[in-house]
Amino acid sequence: MARRIGSRCHCGHKPVKLSALVPRPRFLPHFHAWETLREIRVAVTGQRGVLGSLLTQRLRENGIHVDVFPGDVSDIADITQWIRLSRAEVMFHLAAIVPLAKVEADPIAAMRVNATALVAIQEAVAKFVPQSWFFLGSTSHVYSAVTHVHNGYRRLSEASATEPLSLYGATKLAGERIMVPLARHFGTQLCVGRIFSYFHEQQSSSFLIPGLISRINSAHDESVIEVRDADCVRDFLHADMVIDAILFLCARRAVMTVNIGSGQATSVGAIANRLRALSSKNISLRYLPAATPNGLVADTKALRCIISAGLDK
């Protein structure tokens, strides 16, 4: 019998865990240093999103009190009041409009949430919690995607060119360009995490891997599934691993811009093939190449150094 992939299964048999899709990087262990967050005030925005909800759940499961922002971060009065009352010593800012279709449908709202809201947020941080450590969730989409070269794809370092291909990437880069100089001016502790391609069972089918899963789960035996942009390459991590990386950055109170990824290149076609194998369905895949194949793969040297420095202590 074919197996269903992911957690949204109502058919009575156990779904396949998505964490099996890509191996955990050897440099990224599970986070256990909860003593670094005990007895301090922690605040999170974006609690309704995948990363925000996972982070909040993990913190609470380990006895950390978390103050979550319930509203719209582009509401200046609300976000300012919340920061003032939170008195946060650690703040994780994960609120964002992410789906590309949603950004394209309302780019002004996306720019407000992903970028211009950060003016008021940084002002409030500097005024009310100037000693707090602030994590800004950004994305690999701020980079200029690497096109095919003779010997494969080069990894993108934090110093690589930033020239977003998507409007979403442009909004997130605009947010960085607001937050970084303001944090430098006010002397606040800012860590920008450029998160590469992550996936999770909670994501909607508008994202790449959940979309492939939905199509495979609903496919009949001997059917053919087309995989678009199959030769494009990405750096995939399960969202739980992304949370581990963010927590390690917090434990070390890193103040820098850092890539959060595996450092491993995997094509969209290879991911589709792994999902087909996990499902054990008798289906075929038809790989459709991209008009311009490209890659977004992280140079993880900075992240590896931060994690290893913490583990050595």
Domain CATH for 54: 3.40.50.720
Query: Which whole number is the average pLDDT over 107-127?
Result: 97
Tokens representing 1 are 């019998």
What is this structure's pTM? Answer: 0.93
Which residue did the predictor score with more confidence, 226 or 1? 226
Q: How confident is the model at residue 16 (pLDDT cuts 50, 70, 90)?
A: low
**Burial track 85-116 (b if 16+ CB lie within 10 A, e otherwise):** ebebebbbbbbbbbebeebeeebeebbbbbbb
Which residue did the predictor score with more confidence, 274 or 292? 274
Looking at the structure of the chain, the number of domains it has is 1
Query: Which whole number is the average pLDDT over 194-216?
Result: 92
Instruction: Give a yes or no: residue 125 inside a domain.
Output: yes
- For residue 207, is pLDDT > 70? yes
Tokens representing 140 are 């690999």
Rounded CA separation 310/29 (Å): 11
- For residue 150, is pLDDT > 60? no
Instruction: Give a yes or no: residue 99 inside a domain.
Output: yes
Which residue did the predictor score with more confidence, 219 or 258? 258
Q: What is the pLDDT of residues 82-107, one digit of tens each?
A: 999 999 999 999 999 998 889 999 99
Instruction: Give a yes or no: residue 15 inside a domain.
Output: no
- For residue 4, is pLDDT > 70? no
The burial class, CB within 10 Å (0-12 / 13-18 / 19+), for 121 is buried
Instruction: Give a yes or no: residue 123 inside a domain.
Output: yes
Instruction: Give a yes or no: residue 79 inside a domain.
Output: yes
Instruction: Give a yes or no: residue 70 inside a domain.
Output: yes
Enclosing domain of residue 190: 30-201+236-262+297-311
Instruction: Give a yes or no: residue 72 inside a domain.
Output: yes
Q: What is the dihedral of CA 299, 300, 303, 307, to 10 degrees?
A: -160
Query: Which whole number is the average pLDDT over 35-64?
Result: 96
285 SS3 class: strand
Rounded CA separation 91/46 (Å): 11
Percentage, residues of the chain above pLDDT 70? 92
Instruction: Give a yes or no: residue 108 inside a domain.
Output: yes
Percentage, residues of the chain above pLDDT 90? 80
Q: How confident is the model at residue 148 (pLDDT cuts 50, 70, 90)?
A: low
The burial class, CB within 10 Å (0-12 / 13-18 / 19+), for 284 is exposed
